[in-house]
Structure 1
Amino acid sequence: MSETVLANVTGVAIGGRVLLIEGPPGAGKSSLALALIDRGATLVGDDAVTLDRRGEAVHALPPPNTAGLVEIRNVGIVEMPTTHGPVALILTLDPAAARFPLAIAERTLAGIAVPALPFVPGDAVQALRAEAALQRHGLPLPKAGEKA
Structure 2
Amino acid sequence: MRDGSSDIVHASSVAVHGFAVLLMGVSGSGKSDLALRLIDRGHGLISDDRTLVHIKEGRLLASAPPTIAGKLEARGLGILELPHQDDVPVALAIGLDGPVERFPLEEKELTLLGTSIPLLALNARAASAPILVEKALDREEAR
TM-score, length-scaled by structure 1: 0.87
RMSD of aligned Cα (Å): 1.7
Match of 1:82 in 2: 84
For each residue in 1:6-30, what CA deviation from the matched residue of structure 2 results, as whole angstroms up to 9, or x when unmatched?
Answer: 2420000011100000000000000
TM-score, length-scaled by structure 2: 0.90
Q: Distance in 2 between matches of 1:102 and 1:89?
A: 18
Match of 2:105 in 1: 102
Q: Distance in 1 between matches of 2:20 and 2:9?
A: 16
Q: Extract unaligned runs of 5+ from structure 1.
A: 141-148
Report the alpha carbon displacement of residue 32 of structure 1 after superposing the two structures with TM: 0.5
Q: Distance in 2 between matches of 1:8 and 1:28?
A: 13
Alignment partner of 2:116 out of 99, 103, 113: 113
Match of 1:143 in 2: none
1:10 matched to 2:12: yes
C-alpha contact (below 8 Å) 1:57/1:86 kept by paired residues = yes
Change (3 A) 1:121 1:95: farther
Report the alpha carbon displacement of residue 139 of structure 1 after superposing the two structures with TM: 8.5
Question: Which has the larger helix fraction?
Answer: 2
Match of 2:24 in 1: 22
Identical aligned residues as a percent: 37
Match of 1:135 in 2: 138
**Bigger mean CA deviation after superposition, 130-139 or 91-100:** 130-139
